[in-house]
Structure 1
Amino acid sequence: MAHVARLPELPYADAVFDAAVGNFVLNHVGRPLVALAELRRITRPGGRVAVTIWRSPGAPGQTLIGRAARAAGLTRPDWLPALAPHDDFPRTPEGLAALLDAAGLLGAECSEVAWEHRCDPDTWWAGAERGIGAIGQVLNGGGAEGMAAARHAYDDLSAEFHMRDGLLVLPHLALLAHGRA
């Protein structure tokens, strides 16, 4: 049976699950180590904790909109929260494995996963344009003029990913890690 809850404070007793999974969640919490330790807390001894995160630096396809924003001169708004340096960690296989170790997970292993995401250029742009994620806040922080400049840069930069059918083929990189509680 699957359970859905919100980190970093899960409403479960200690050691009640055989496994816990955080799929791309550590990219969106203010204290990744605390969140990972919470996943370990609810997992029975010997149970598995598995997580995925976006790799950084990312593949050219997944960084496309960010590159377009930078080309348009847009920057991260001051009000947009960022991780405190002591809460941050390298988004590399070694960095994520070290985070699992620090959270008390045993036998931590991490591998890189690569794939090509195929989508329509307007669809890929639409989420960020609507304000989804940090990149969406960067785009919207530039106002209508900044958004238009970023879209123009996006159209230029995305040319390298266009296929004959009009879709984009965007290379992506993620990290998949697991350890035992």
Structure 2
Amino acid sequence: MSGTVYGIAGGSVEDLGTDAAKTGRAGEESTGRVLDRITVESQRDVWHDLDVPARGVKANIDHIVTGGTVALIIDAKRWRPGFYWTLDGTSFRWLSKVEHADRATMAMIQQRIAAHIPRALVRRPVVSVEASRDGWLSVTFLHIPGADAIRAQALLRRIRSRVPDEPTDPDLTAALYPLLRSS
């Protein structure tokens, strides 16, 4: 038995006229292709492009992987190569500040999903980072508030260790389905 893919990866990336938006969509689509393979080899479900269950929040949830009563939120990033690190709550790529890495969005999303689905065990979110071009990338010393930063190459291993290979609980499916932005 295999899992199910819900939604379209990168389906609602805003303002595609900017290079940043195009890069963001490419990162979400790339991560989406990797995640879609999980549904073929396991019973886990993959959810792409969901609304945050809160009024007035414009941010979306890039991906969620579910199995049993467990949900793992994944934010896909495609950043310039370099050495990313954090000191006293400020993140850097080499010696340049990287303010977008210091936002507490992932902690808020985890709290909102956990409140929306009380039965679910919502694991600590993951920010999966891949390089936007050839070059060396390290996020080992990067500390994103409320999330674990990992290289994209480690994503499947993280999912296999955090999300059980079981069909998704019907209550989770019923709670997540209305949050889909695209289908």
TM-score (norm 1): 0.26
Greater strand share, structure number: 2
Choose between structure 1 and 2 for higher RCO, CA contacts under 8 A separated by at least 6 residues: 1
